[in-house]
Structure 1
Amino acid sequence: MSETQSSTSQKAMDEDNKAVSQTMPNTQDKTNTQDYEDELTRVALALVEDVINYAVKFLEDEQNPIKNIKWMTHGEFTVEKGRKQIDEYLSMCIYKKRWTHTTVFVERKDLIHSFLYIYYVHWNASTAGTPVAQTSSGTYFKLKVSKTKPPDAPIGVFFVGEEQELVHR
């Protein structure tokens, strides 16, 4: 290799080393190196934690597109609060905005171990052009309030669509 090529290569390597030495801490000073590594580890862990949290949230949204709400406890339950919680749950569901619903309390059944509160949700797609809906549907919600569970235990919630046999919990 000629001397000119060698000196040109050496200058390029010196330029590269200068850039690296400006971004890297002085490795001779162990305190600076340790501080740098600690800071780098802290930033990397925070980044990994954010990525994991985002991935978990993304998977939960994919697996459960319908969000759930925190249902009231046995001690908090009233007929009106039950109706409001059903409306709150339905507002979390994904459905077209033109669909409206009405929630009505139907009856209370006194079972041996609990009370069963039955609500009917009537869905329709009425518009200004057709105020009498051509299409409608219904859903029965059953809220189960146990006589034996503690007041801070959540109530049981079940619903079934009109003309269906599958019970959702």
Structure 2
Amino acid sequence: MDTESSKSLNTSDCDYEIKNIDWISCKDFTVEAGEQHIRQYMDTWDIKHPGWLYSVQFLQEQEQEFKKQYHYRVQWSIPTQTDPIPRATASVYFIIEISTIKPNTLPVEVHFLIESTRSRHIPGRTRFREKWLMDVLESKTLLMDTIDF
């Protein structure tokens, strides 16, 4: 069930394979399994900088009319020897949805958002870009540099 799957995206300037995983079925879902699958999915991302570290935190469960949503936050940072606790982090918010009206043998539905953006990304349809994380870190660092504490 946890094998990697992918599809190709043809663009004018290159061919790029958008990677995905086989997400857990609704009936087998637990908060812990959700976290495990998020980690597995993020392992498919093309991250170039070797210093990135992240932590995953379950935030909340929300009951809606025909589904349940499970919200997670993944905080990314690049700690260094001179800055072991970075001043800025970049968060990626994952939402895992379980339908209460569709067959529970179907996989969960997943989407994610990058902090400070409104675009909703869907695994297997969106090519993750490390630049999104770097942009958040740079914005926060620039803002902090303008404030005197």
Verify same fold: TM over 0.5: yes
Which of 21, 40, 63 in structure 2 is aligned with 1:88? 40
Distance 1:97 1:152 in 2: 38
Q: Secondary structure at 2:39's aligned position in 1?
A: helix
After the TM superposition, which residues 6-45 of structure 1 pair with which residues of structure 2 at under 5 Å, given as runs?
none
Q: Percent identity?
A: 27
Over the aligned positions, Cα root-mean-square deviation in angstroms equals 2.1
- Cα distance, 1:133 vs structure 2: 1.1
8 Å contact kept, 1:116–1:142: yes
Residue deviations 1:30-66 (CA, integer Å, cap 9, x gap)? xxxxxxxxxxxxxxxxxxxxxxxxxx979699233x4
Residue deviations 1:102-122 (CA, integer Å, cap 9, x gap)? 110000000010100000000
Q: Secondary structure at 1:129's aligned position in 2?
A: coil
Residue deviations 1:62-121 (CA, integer Å, cap 9, x gap)? 233x41111111111000000010011111101122111111000000001010000000
Q: 1:162 to 1:57 in 2, by over 3 A?
A: closer
Higher relative contact order (CA 8 A, sep 6+): 2
Please say if 1:129 is aligned against 2:82: yes
Greater Rg over alpha carbons, structure: 1
Q: Which segments of 5 or more consecutive residues in structure 2 lack a partner in the other structure? A: 1-6, 123-149
Distance 1:62 1:75 in 2: 36
Q: Which segments of 5 or more consecutive residues in structure 1 lack a partner in the other structure? A: 1-55
Q: Which structure shows the higher strand fraction?
A: 2
In the alignment, residue 94 of structure 1 is paired with which amino acid? D
In the alignment, residue 106 of structure 1 is paired with which amino acid? L
Which of 14, 23, 27 in structure 2 is aligned with 1:71? 23
Distance 2:111 2:9 in 1: 26
Please say if 1:167 is aligned against 2:120: yes
Q: How many residues align?
A: 113
Q: Which structure shows the higher helix fraction?
A: 1
Q: Which residue of 2 aligns with 1:114?
A: 67
Distance 1:145 1:116 in 2: 6
- Cα distance, 1:135 vs structure 2: 3.7
Using the size of structure 2 for normalisation, the TM-score is 0.69
Using the size of structure 1 for normalisation, the TM-score is 0.61
